Structure 1
Amino acid sequence: RAPGLHRGHWGFGGWAQHDDAIWKEVKAEAQTRARHGLAAYGSRFYGSDVDERVIERARRNARRAGIGELIDFAVKDVAQLNNPLPKGPYGTVISNPPYGERLESEPALIALHSLLGRIMKSQFGGWNLSVFSASPELLSCLQLRADKQFKAKNGPLDCIQKNYHLAESEGGKPAMLAEDFANRLRKNLKKFEKWARQEGIECYRLYDADLPEYNVAIDRYGDWVVVQEYAPPKTVDAHKARQRLFDIIAATIAVLEIAPNKLVLKTRERQKGKNQYQKMAEKGDFIEVQEYNARLWVNLTDYLDTGLFLDHRIARRMLGQMSKGKDFLNLFSYTGSASVHAGLGGARSTTTVDMSRTYLEWAERNLRLNGLTGRAHRLMQADVLGWL
């Protein structure tokens, strides 16, 4: 097809010696050649994106370029991707998947790339794949070996394009990333899940740096999971540490069979003074969880801690068992979970004291959730030593 065939205006149209009849003849000949070429063209293009607005824009661009008939557009996400030519011929898949910079988006991005790799292996054997990204670590989640790679730029971002050839025998279940970590997590899950169900507990630690090379803690809160990375020492290569964390997240999502948006990622470093209580986000999302006979609110995203110290669980249960008929005083109360257990255990009264208005309001919500309201359950915002 001649370049500019669909162009509506040419500068030479205003030239005094322009012969419009000859121009129309030349243009008609070019249009005829383009129609014949389009009819004889054997290739097809398939484009998809999860955003309907983007697809509509792409359709308009294709029509303006005169190639709208060659491209099948669809609104779908990666999970719905399938081979449009299962009986051949082989083709090429190109992709520019998201590679967000925000920490909270990483679990979803890791799951997305892992899924893309599995679909490529299972459905596109014999094809070529080319992926453009700013994150080599995310590309490793494809679990594919690149034949070629090229450095590139996307504005200020350093990027990379990797080309892969997918072997025809790629089908089947891919190997798990971080297989030894996945096996340990699977073993722990089998051990603790049944115990937690019998105890009436929804919040517990599944993994605590059991394997030194996978230095994370994994806590379960109902159908949510919090992965806390212990900050690696400066002697550990930052790229390798980040790659290992990505492998951990991918394996955790796969073993626990959770949605990526139900995994919260945090980095735990030694906190001093008030730093441990500083906000990390402003989402304000609370979820309700069960601990024995108590219902409690936790917030998995806004603070480093969630509002419920899991290692105090046994102490809270003991307080509940020891409080019947007694007046219970809870100093430096945090979110008041100990007051809840004491109240449910039959305490005559509870007094909950903390300097923080935020945590005192949280404690009030916890007490109210368990029906512990009224004058018998007082909340005091005060400096504890001064109050005493």
Structure 2
Amino acid sequence: MENEDIELFASCLAGLEAPLADELRRMGVRRVRPLAGGVAAFCDVRGALSACLWSRLASRVLAVVGRVDASDAERLHEGVRGLPWEDVLACGASIAVQTHGANDELRNTRFTALKVKDAVCDRMLGQTGRRPEVDPEEPDALIDVRVRGARATLSLDLSGGPLYRRTWLSADDGADAPLSCAQAAGLLALADWQRLCEAGAALVDPACGDGALVVEAAAWACDLAPGLVRERWGFFGWGKSEPEVWNDLVREADERFERGLARIAGADALEAPSSAPPDRARVRIAGASSSSPAIARARLLARRAGLRQALTVELADAQSADGQVARACAAASRDASDGAARCLVACILPTGDRAMSEARARADAAAFAAASASAPEGSVFAAVGGEGVEERFGVAPALGVEIGKGRVATKALVFDAPPVGTTEVSVPDPAGGAEHLVEVFEEASGQFAARLRKTARERRKWARREGVTCYRIYDADLPDYAVAVDVYEGAGQAAGNTYVHVAEYAPPRSVDPVKARRRFDDVLALVPVVLGVRSDHVFSKVRRREKGGGQYREARRRSYVTQVQEAGFEFEVDLAGYLDTGLFLDHRLTRALVGAKAQGRRFLNLFAYTGTATVHAAAGGARSTATVDLSQTYLDWARRNMAANGFEGPEHTFERGDVMAWITEARRAGRRFDLVFVDPPTFSNSKAMGRRTWDVQRDHVELLIGVSRLLSEEGEAVFSCNLRSFKPDEEALARYGVALEDITAQTIPHDFERNPRIHKCYLVRRG
């Protein structure tokens, strides 16, 4: 077949258009033009197939068939039918259509896809006498339709699926794994890893996560074509594809990989089984993580890619970064073109909802900075994402590129100078080992570390003595470090794990917000080291003090659900995904009081949240329980907590409703309870409440009058709230026959004694 000018469009992650254009030029593709979200170009069949096989930066490779009028459905059908599909589609190829974009006449992408499919089938029937089979799941040929204004561009997807989903990925690697590969490839391109690698440089990823970056770097260094062992391609259904050309490209890629692997890993390493660990003395591509499960996944990824001999992944943290860089550079010195070993220190640092633990993200950023500081002269430093990276470096990046859009938007930074913006704090090892040097922004953060260490020792002794497994160890003890630090000991399948939850109180306006943020960064860097806890088991939130009470502000993160115990009962907590964890630690004694009073009583839990008080009441021998909350999410959570402790059956009900309205209905129905627990929020304007809002100071009289009317003759209620300025209107309550007894002092646990205003608590009875 004669070579033809084929118009290509290679799509990519936003921000990577320029390096993708350079990549295509190196393949010999002509008339390359970067556009938003991809690159337009022209080539022959060999060039198109090479782009599919070799592109590290393209997501899809499309062969443009034509552009047609899409001002309405009929014109679209007519235009598509006029295109030469009999030359585009291979004989007998099944098809599917995917559509992007819309206009005033073509608003529904499914309808547009249907019109295009009908037009293609009509054309093929008229030209060949056969309608192609439609296979929406695994078509031989995927037709891509992009509607923009009154025009539609029709293309054939030669890749047949996202190229970012590398062949070494599996379904178990998660939905974000292809994105990590795309970010890794993009970062390596922006840092010019090709040139550094050819000059014999080392690469170190000191926070390698699941290993996407080190595997991509090794694939690049070993000349492994990303699509070498890919089994399905969209060009299998392309009428212009040339099997002999493809087979020739694959043979050439096989040979290049064999030579590249021998060059990087050494000929002797290739004789060892692919599962065998590489000789660290020879390998100049290295990753590190403080998480053993992450290391196992990274090594598995490398084995699947056939690159286990070309890289090493170790257990390490920021404190051991210098040793890792030194070993990698020593291995690189044998390959360095001028004998001077250099290094690319690179990381993918998750941000936003992909950074489940902010402390882990900060620890990874610190490890990146520490490794960069120990790299030899002439090294390059590159990172995707991460918070505070620029501040840690203290120098402007040589290159900064926004990559991705929407939820996956982040920034790639490349530095040509090492960091100069931090200092070090010495922290004693909690297990008695060697001291740790932790990079911090503020020298005074050493005082926070010392205070946290002291209070943690005292509180742990108390907790062991009292059998407490979830407790507070620090609560704004130092005014400049206004955070609350809580410890959660895992239970059930999580037994043996320790988790830490850090909540920052927003500083007053008089405090420089940049300085406050640097201090919080230091807190998150120091907490796991001082307490001897894995950084990915440290979770954080920011508490804003608002008028009428406190509210949390936190970038939405994925849930991290685990099990803990309190007084022998098992509870589910979510340390990352919600504003609160599901267990209010300051109510530990209040819940115990409820349990002690529950024997033989009908129990009602209002504003029940996750039902922890209901568990205590049921365990205390309550005759029945009713758990009421406006949120179905929390009611389901409460049901799981009850079931986990063996409390199921018709005597335990879970009722969804606005508490004030629910009380009115319960009174009308004549329902009565012997013990009620009422722990309302300080303020709420939930949409489910309609136009009404809730304010505990304003509405507590109406609430407690209603609660008192649900009490049996000898019944009582335990009422608590967290508004520090709360003052009950006892005079108004007395007029309606409601008596209050302040029992706050006896419900403040030892770990909250420093801040006895954490909540107010009262017994409520009929006067």
The reply to whether TM is greater than 0.5 is yes
Residues 3-62 of structure 1, C-alpha deviations (whole Å, 9 max, x = no match): xxxx998x9xxxxxxxxxxxxxxxxxxxxxxxxxxxxxxx84323453224421342189
Gaps of 5+ in 1: 1-6, 12-42
Aligned to 1:111: 363
Contact preservation (8 Å) 2:472, 2:585: yes
Q: 1:356 to 1:112 in 2, by over 3 A?
A: closer
Q: Deviations over 1:211-259 (max 9, x none)?
A: 1111211122222211112223344333222221111100012112222
Q: Which amino acid aligns with 1:386?
A: T
Match of 1:269 among 540, 544, 549: 544
CA positional deviation for 1:176: 6.1
Pick which of 232-241 and 70-79 moved more: 70-79
1:325 counterpart residue number: 600
Structure 1 counterpart of 2:643:
368
Which residue of structure 1 lines up, in the alignment, with residue 400 of structure 2? Answer: 153
SS of the equivalent of 1:210 reads coil
Which residue of 2 is the match for residue 45 of structure 1? 201
Structure 1 position 376, deviation (Å):
2.4
Hey, what's the Cα distance between the residues in 1 that align with 2:377 and 2:511? 38
Contact 2:380 2:414 in 1 (8 A): no
Q: 1:322·1:345 contact (CA, 8 Å) conserved in 2?
A: yes
Query: Which amino acid letter does the alignment assign opposite residue 462 of structure 2?
Result: W
Count of residue pairs brought into register by the alignment: 340
Supply the distance in 2 between the matched residues of 1:368 and 1:185 (Cα, whole angstroms). 37
Q: Does the aligned pair in 1 maintain the 2:625–2:652 contact within 8 Å?
A: yes
Residue 60 of structure 1 aligns to a residue whose secondary structure is: coil
Q: 1:59 aligns with which of 199, 222, 232?
A: 222
SS of the residue 1:298 aligns to: strand
Q: CA deviation at 1:379?
A: 2.1
Partner of 2:673: none
Aligned to 1:340: 615
Alignment of 1:97 with 2:347, yes or no, is yes
Contact kept? 1:277, 1:304, Cα under 8 Å: yes
The answer to whether the aligner puts 1:174 opposite 2:330 as a matched pair is no
Q: CA deviation at 1:126?
A: 7.1
Q: Is the 8 A contact 1:113 1:139 kept in 2?
A: no
Matched to 1:266, the amino acid is K
Q: Residue deviations 1:337-382, cap 9 Å, x none? A: 1111111112222222222222111111111111111122222223
Cα 1:54/1:224, change in 2 over 3 Å: same
What residue in structure 2 maps to residue 301 of structure 1?
A: 576
- Secondary structure (helix, strand or coil) at the match of 1:98 reads strand
Q: 1:277–1:102: structure 2 CA closer, same or farther, 3 Å change rule?
A: closer
Q: Residues 1-388 of structure 1: matches in 2 within 5 Å?
A: 44-49=200-205, 50-51=211-212, 52-60=215-223, 69=263, 73-74=284-285, 76-77=287-288, 80=314, 81-84=324-327, 91-102=341-352, 105=355, 106-116=358-368, 124=374, 130-132=380-382, 137-138=388-389, 151-155=398-402, 159=413, 161=415, 163-164=417-418, 174=437, 177=440, 178-222=445-489, 223-270=498-545, 281=556, 283-384=558-659, 385-388=663-666
Alignment match, 2:720: none
**1:97–1:139 Cα change, 3 Å:** farther
In 2, Cα distance between equivalents of 1:165 and 1:336: 49
**Which amino acid in the other structure matches residue 359 of structure 2?**
P
3-state SS of paired residue (1:319): helix
d(CA) in 1 for partners of 2:203 and 2:521? 28
Q: Is the 8 A contact 2:471 2:488 kept in 1?
A: yes
Aligned partner of residue 183 in structure 1, secondary structure: helix
**CA 1:99/1:297 → structure 2, altered by over 3 Å: closer, same or farther?**
closer
Distance, in Å, in 2 between the alignment partners of 1:102 and 1:272 is: 27
Q: Which residue does the alignment assign to 2:71?
A: none
The Cα offsets for residues 70-128 of structure 1, whole Å up to 9 and x where unpaired, read as 7955353266325236699874433233344427634223212333455677xx58766
> What amino acid does structure 1 have at the position aligned with 2:220?
R
Opposite residue 387 of structure 1, the aligned amino acid is E
> Cα–Cα, structure 1 residues 289 and 241, in superposed 2: closer, same or farther, change >3 Å?
same
Q: What amino acid does structure 2 have at the position aligned with 1:115?
A: A
Distance 1:319 1:130 in 2: 61
Amino acid at match of 1:138: V
Q: Distance in 2 between matches of 1:126 and 1:53?
A: 23
Are the aligned partners of 1:127 and 1:165 in contact in 2 as well (CA < 8 Å)? no
Letter in structure 2 aligned against 1:56: A
Separation in 2, partners of 1:326, 1:175: 54
Q: Secondary structure at the match of 1:320?
A: helix
Q: What percentage of aligned pairs have identical amino acids?
A: 33
State the secondary structure of the residue aligned to 1:330: strand
Deviates more, 1:377-386 or 1:300-309: 377-386
Per the alignment, do residues 209 and 165 of structure 1 end up closer, same or farther by CA in structure 2, a change over 3 Å counting? closer
CA 1:302–1:120: 2 relative to 1, 3 Å: closer
The answer to whether the 8 Å contact 1:352/1:380 transfers is: yes
Farther off after superposition, 106-115 or 152-161:
152-161
Q: Which has the higher contact order (CA 8 A, sep 6+)?
A: 1
SS in structure 2 opposite 1:269?
A: strand
How much does 1:184 deviate?
Answer: 1.0
Gaps of 5+ in 2: 1-25, 31-198, 206-210, 226-255, 266-282, 291-313, 315-323, 334-338, 404-410, 425-434, 490-497, 667-767
What SS does structure 2 have at the residue aligned with 1:163?
coil
Distance 1:53 1:312, change over 3 A: same
| Change beyond 3 A, Cα 1:336–1:327 | same
Contact 1:268/1:304, CA 8 A, preserved across alignment = no
- 1:337 partner amino acid: T
SS in 2 for 1:347: coil
Return the index of the structure with the highest Cα Rg: 2
For residues 296 and 187 of structure 1, what CA distance do their matches in structure 2 show?
29
